[in-house]
Chains A and B, each alone.
Chain A
Amino acid sequence: MTQTPGNDALLTSPLHEAHEALGPTWAPFGGWQMPIQYSGGGVVAEHTAVREAVGIFDVSHLGKALVTGPGAAAFVNSCLTADLGKIAPGKAQYTLCCAENGGVVDDLIAYLVSEDEVFLVPNAANTAEVVRLLQAAAPEGITVTGQHRDYAVIAVQGPKSGDVLDKLGLPSDMEYMAYADADWNGYTVRVCRTGYTGEHGYELLPKWDEARALWDALAEAAASFGGRPAGLGARDTLRTEMGYPLHGHDLSLEISPVQAGSTWAVGWKKDAFWGRDALTAEKANGPKRRLRGLRAVERGVPREQMDVLNAAGEKIGETTSGTFSPTLKTGIALALIDTEAGVELGDQVTLEVRGRKLACEVVKPPFVDTKTK
């Protein structure tokens, strides 16, 4: 029950002062000091607001990078896993930056602007490495620029998110994973139909120095639709209910997309992408472990790095994320389970929770219905 100490070395969002006014609980995340929850809210209330109305999140810690130059899209397509050829300009794509051994350096969103321009949103802690790898690989004429603090990112998520954008006069009627650059009070804002909650939602990219006015307007509009600001605590419970992996936990240099079940984000037919040979071999041979969903069938809350046991009490895997699901009111987890353990969906396994046993059912995420579209 110790309070997280302030740390001057952490980076702060351009919305830091707006959070201060809301009584935040701060936590370090990927090198940034970000709000986990707000007083008067709390993880459960903020989570429920997103599922039932709308929540606004400051996720400005997310990285931003720009790849430009003749054939920039083809270059990115030869590095990252997903097939950029499957989307048109004006659309975004979930993709992976893999190492040659198939491990995941980062998972990120690529916005296809044109053949000659791709905008990337990597995770905060991995942005510098993604930029470094792309810069090292870029041919003459293609420039990779880190823009981490050029833009803020505000996520507006929930069934009322479209109403909030309408109220501000921002474009809301777009397909899932599409984006548009809009004018708002003389400011340019990139509006994307993306998110990390499983709800209908948007991620807005205002310029760093122009983010505060947009946040204030969004907060006011959200409140009028029964919504509220939400912290990274709710973002984590929301994404876990969807079974979305979080890099560094459910996907990492040690956990390949074949193991994590993220193969849908790999363009297997492409001639080249980083990690292609290793991943193709792993897919052909079958992964030695596989990410599964676990739903507690008794009271208790799984956390990450807990042992998964079979009926004989033998260790067959380990959790990579775990939390209490505010929607289901039960414990849920993602766990890497050894393939040779022969565990099937619907089987029961046991988690070792600090010396106690917690029975869980093996399920296929999402734990809660997805409503992104």
Chain B
Amino acid sequence: MVPEELKYTEEHEWIAQAGEGTVRIGITHYAQEQLGDVVFVQLPDVGDSYASGATLGEVESTKSVSDIYAPLPGEIVARNEALVDTPELINSDPYGDGWLVEIKLEDASAVNGLLDAAKYRELTGA
């Protein structure tokens, strides 16, 4: 449940390459399991810019709410509109159809500083 090809953060987000200097992010399988049934997602607007670690949205379940953090600095270039009506995609397909946003990075090489799958597995005891 921790795909080898992705990068990760300690905030339980995954980061995938999505083109030239652009990444797609979502929350991990572990994170969605901890949250439980996701019922509401608040995403940032396309064009907004965020510093690393800034809160860019929220994922809310029946029992709790978690912030979504910008894993790296950059500008939002796409958001997953499907989550507006079907937020449960985050539970059913966290690494696929349940993606959150795409970010055009200020520094494309910064991805290398994120956790790899082995480090993330260590973090979650998976």
Mark A residues whose CB is within 8 Å of B: 1-3, 25, 36-37, 39, 42-45, 233, 237, 299-301, 303, 323-324, 326, 331, 354, 356
4 more A-B residue pairs beyond the given contacts A36-B63, A324-B39, with a C-beta to C-beta distance below 8 A: A44-B37, A233-B63, A237-B62, A299-B40
Distance of B68 from chain A, by nearest CB (Å): 11
Task: Say how far B91's CB is from chain A's closest CB, in angstroms.
Answer: 8
Known: A1-B31, A1-B34. A233 touches B40 (CB 8 A): no
Q: Within 8 Å CB of A1, what residues of B?
A: 11-12, 31, 34-35, 66
CB distance B62 to A324 under 8 Å?
yes
The answer to whether A303 and B62 have CB atoms under 8 Å apart is no
Task: Give A331 to B66 CA distance when docked, in angstroms.
Answer: 17
A3 touches B62 (CB 8 A): no
Task: Decide: A300 and B40 in contact? CB cutoff 8 A.
Answer: yes
Question: A43: which of B34, B62, B65 is its contact (CB, 8 Å)?
Answer: B62
B40 touches A43 (CB 8 A): no
- A sample of 5 inter-chain contacts (CB < 8 A) reads A1-B66, A42-B91, A300-B40, A324-B39, A354-B65
User: How many residue pairs at the A-B interface have CB separations less than 8 Å?
Assistant: 47
> B62 to A326, Cβ gap below 8 A?
yes
Asked if B62 and A233 sit within 8 Å, CB to CB, the answer is yes
Q: Does B97 contact A (CB under 8 A)?
A: no
Closest residue of B by beta carbon distance from A296: B40
Chain B 36-67 interface mask (CB, 8 Å, partner A; 1/0): 11011010000000000000001011110110
A25 x B58 contact (CB < 8 A): no
Instruction: Please indicate the chain B residues that have their CB under 8 angstroms from the CB of A3 in the complex.
Output: 34
Indicate if the CB atoms of B66 and A301 lie closer than 8 Å.
no
Q: How far is the CB of A28 from chain B (nearest CB, A)?
A: 14
Residue from the list B36, B39, B58, B65 in contact with A233, Cβ < 8 A: B36
With both beta carbons as reference points, the residue of chain B lying nearest to A42 in the complex is identified as: B37
- Nearest A residue to B34, CB-CB: A1
User: In the complex the two chains form, what is the Cα distance from A301 to B59 in whole Å?
Assistant: 11
Complex Cα gap A276–B9 (Å):
58
> Which 10 A-B pairs rank lowest in CB-CB distance, beginning with the nearest?
A43-B62, A324-B39, A44-B37, A1-B34, A42-B37, A301-B60, A1-B31, A43-B37, A324-B62, A301-B40
A residues in contact with B91, CB < 8 Å: 42
Q: Is the CB of B36 within 8 A of A323?
A: no
Return the chain A residue nearest B87 by Cβ: A299
Q: Closest approach, in angstroms, between the C-beta of A327 and any C-beta of chain B?
A: 12
Among B11, B37, B42, B61, max chain A CB count under 10 A is at B37
Shortest Cβ gap from B60 to chain A (Å): 5
Q: Please, which residues of chain B bring their CB within 8 A of the CB of A237?
A: 62
A323/B62 in contact, CB under 8 A: yes
Asked, given contacts A1-B31, A301-B65, whether A43 binds B36 with beta carbons under 8 Å apart, the answer is yes
CA distance A3 to B125 in the complex (A): 12
Alpha-carbon separation in the docked complex, A335 to B64 (Å): 19
How far is B61's CA from A36's CA once the two chains are assembled, in angstroms?
13
- Within 8 Å by CB of A37, from B11, B31, B36, B66, lies B36
Given A43-B37, A233-B36, A299-B40, CB of A354 within 8 Å of CB of B63: no
Contact partners of B60 in chain A: CB under 8 A: 301, 324
- Collect the chain A residues with CB atoms within 8 Å of residue B58's CB: 354
Q: Which of A1, A37, A326 has the most CB of B within 10 A?
A: A1
How close is B72's CB to chain A, nearest CB, in angstroms? 19
Residue of B nearest to A326 (CB): B62
Contact B62 A44 (CB under 8 A): yes
A36 to B58 Cα, complex, angstroms: 22
Q: A1-B12, A1-B31, A354-B58 are in contact. Are A324 and B40 (CB under 8 A)?
A: yes
Q: Is the CB of B65 within 8 A of A25?
A: no
List chain A residues, Cβ under 8 A from B36. 25, 37, 42-43, 233
Q: Digit string of B98-109 for contact with A (CB within 8 Å is 1, else 0)? A: 000000000000
Q: Which residues of B have CB within 8 Å of A300?
A: 40
Residues of B within 8 A of A37 (CB): 36
Q: Which residues of A contact B37 (CB under 8 A)?
A: 42-45, 326
Instruction: Tell me, rounded to whole Å, the shortest Cβ–Cβ distance linking A371 to chain B.
Output: 22
User: How distant is A183 from chain B, measured CB to nearest CB, in Å?
Assistant: 39
Cα A44 to Cα B61 with chains together (Å): 10
> Within the assembled complex, what's the spacing in Å between the Cα atoms of A216 and B111?
50
B27 to chain A, nearest CB (A): 8
